[in-house]
Amino acid sequence: MTDTLELVSENKSFGGWLRRYRHRSEVLDCDMVFGIYLPPQAETQSVPLLWWLSGLTCTDENFMQKAGAHRVAAELGMAIICPDTSPRGTDLPGEHDSYDFGSGAGFYVDATEAPWNQHYHMYSYVVDELPDLVHNAFPLSGQEAISGHSMGGHGALVCALHNPERYQSVSAFAPICHPLNCSWGEKAFGGYLGDDRDTWKAWDACELIRANGAPHSLLVDQGGADNFLEAGQLQPEALEAACGEVGGDLTLRHQPGYDHSYFFIASFIEDHLRFHFRHL
């Protein structure tokens, strides 16, 4: 194991290991913690990897503890990595004042506005720095997929659209599909990226698909009783329209009665893991 990783905790799960590591991030200029589930097959061979990006207020722990993903990941021989959702310990002015901006709300963009541009480069952390670190430290095959929930669903879509050669597939649960056109996105992008809305388009899945196409098979689940759907924060219909315009391969499943919680994620995570495994 590389000296740059400090083991925080480990738990055996379905024959594999859930481990949490702390490391110094140069991109974020702070210490970060991530979680990795290594299936039992990783004891003897390299395994494919699913990146999971979590939503607002989450850390690396929520998905690993609540989603019920380890059983199927162990069966398939798939590793899962969960980064944190924002820099930690930076204590910038106003950083902890609201749930949808600052702490736990990095939105997987590279901030350009002060003071956020000192630390809030979650896109570069997820796409560049952390992958370099983990591929040097763990038995990973180089085959990768990406998924996420809500803000993390937005992040998964944007990461995949900017790096079509990196990920074999992408999926999302209740993603923020069109952040240029919802209050969550407008608050985050205005704060991190400034007032020029044209620059925001590089971080909006619908705009990226219209500009560059949709190169991946995409699976999206959306709960029908999701209060954020009713509030206009998610807008899966905008994603469906964008994919329709370019002939994208989107499977959008509306799940009646399900809300925005991890009960929803746990109910359908097996479908997503098997979807990714077919592409990996």
Per residue in 136-173, pLDDT (tens digit) is 999 999 999 999 999 999 999 999 999 999 999 999 99
Which among 119, 226, 272, 276 is annotated as catalytic? 226
The answer to the question of residue 154 being in a domain is: yes
Q: What percent of the chain has pLDDT over 90?
A: 97
- 84 near 32, Cβ under 8 Å? yes
Domain encompassing residue 46: 6-278
Which among 54, 150, 169, 171 is annotated as catalytic? 150
Per residue in 192-251, pLDDT (tens digit) is 999 999 999 999 999 999 999 998 899 999 999 999 999 999 999 999 999 999 999 999
Q: What is the pLDDT of residue 215?
A: 86
Tokens 């200029």 belong to residue? 29
Entry field: residues in the chain: 280
DSSP-derived pairing of the beta strands 170-173 and 217-223:
parallel
Tokens of 272: 């997503």
Which among 121, 149, 260, 272 is annotated as catalytic? 260
The answer to the question of residue 130 being in a domain is: yes
Question: How far apart (Å, rounded) are the C-alpha atoms in residues 195 and 257?
Answer: 38
The answer to whether 260 is a known catalytic residue is yes
- 203 near 157, Cβ under 8 Å? no
- 161 near 209, Cβ under 8 Å? yes
The answer to the question of residue 100 being in a domain is: yes
Question: Running DSSP on this structure, what letter comes out for residue 11?
Answer: E
The answer to the question of residue 11 being in a domain is: yes
The answer to the question of residue 199 being in a domain is: yes
Per residue in 251-266, pLDDT (tens digit) is 999 999 999 999 999 9
The beta strands (E) that lie in the chain are given as 6-13, 16-25, 30-38, 47-53, 79-82, 140-148, 170-173, 217-223, 249-255
- Is pLDDT above 70 for 1? no
The answer to the question of residue 120 being in a domain is: yes
Mean pLDDT of the 84-110 span: 97
Task: Give the domain CATH number at 50.
Answer: 3.40.50.1820
Per residue in 28-39, pLDDT (tens digit) is 999 999 999 999
The answer to the question of residue 1 being in a domain is: no
- 241 near 271, Cβ under 8 Å? no
Tokens 């702390």 belong to residue? 22
The answer to the question of residue 121 being in a domain is: yes
Domain count, the chain: 1
